[in-house]
Amino acid sequence: MSRRGENIRKRKDGRWEGRIITGYHDDGKAIYKSVYGKTYMETKEKMQQMQNNQEPDKAGNRVTFEAAAEEWISYKQCSLAESSIFKYKLLMEKHIYPEIGGMFIHEITSAVTADLLEKKASVKKLSNSTLQGILYIIQAVCGFSATQRNMPEVKITVKIPHKPTQEAFVLSEEEQKLLEACLLSGMDQSKLGILICLYTGLRLGEICAMKWENISLEKASIRVNKSLQRLYTGMEEQKSILILSDPKSVCSMRSIPIYSVLHDVIKKFQSENACIKDHYILSGQRDKPMEPRAYEYHFQKYLKQSGIPHYKFHSLRHTFATNCIHAGVDVKSLSEILGHSSVSITLQKYVHSSFEMKQEQLEKLCSIRGQNSGQRMEIPDI
Q: What is the mean pLDDT of residues 241-252?
A: 84
CATH architecture of 64-163: Orthogonal Bundle (1.10)
Q: How confident is the model at residue 167 (pLDDT cuts 50, 70, 90)?
A: low
Mean pLDDT of the chain: 85
Query: Could you tell me what percent of the chain has a pLDDT over 90?
Result: 48
pLDDT of 4: 42
pLDDT of 249: 76
Q: How confident is the model at residue 3 (pLDDT cuts 50, 70, 90)?
A: very low
Q: How confident is the model at residue 358 (pLDDT cuts 50, 70, 90)?
A: low
The Cα 122–Cα 113 span in angstroms is 14
Strands 16-24 and 8-10: what pairing? antiparallel
pTM: 0.71
Q: How confident is the model at residue 5 (pLDDT cuts 50, 70, 90)?
A: very low
Q: How confident is the model at residue 85 (pLDDT cuts 50, 70, 90)?
A: confident
pLDDT of 341: 84
| Residue 378 backbone class (left: φ over 0; alpha: ψ -120 to 50; beta: rest) | beta
The Cα 210–Cα 107 span in angstroms is 48
The Cα 77–Cα 114 span in angstroms is 27
DSSP 349: I
| Sequence-distant (≥ 6) Cβ neighbours of residue 321 within 8 angstroms | 201, 334, 338, 346, 350, 351, 352
- Rounded alpha-carbon distances, angstroms, from residue 1 to 10, 35, 233, 282: 6, 16, 26, 36
Q: How confident is the model at residue 215 (pLDDT cuts 50, 70, 90)?
A: very high
User: pLDDT tens, 306-347?
Assistant: 999 999 999 999 999 989 988 889 999 999 999 988 888 888
pLDDT of 270: 96
Q: How confident is the model at residue 56 (pLDDT cuts 50, 70, 90)?
A: low
Record: fold of 185-355: hpI Integrase; Chain A (1.10.443)
The Cα 91–Cα 57 span in angstroms is 28
Q: What is the mean pLDDT of residues 62-67?
A: 86
Domain residue extents for the chain: 1-54, 64-163, 185-355
The Cα 31–Cα 43 span in angstroms is 19
Task: Tell me whether the CATH fold assigned to 64-163 matches the one assigned to 185-355.
Answer: no
Tell me the range of 17-26, 34-43, 294-303 where mean pLDDT is highest.
294-303
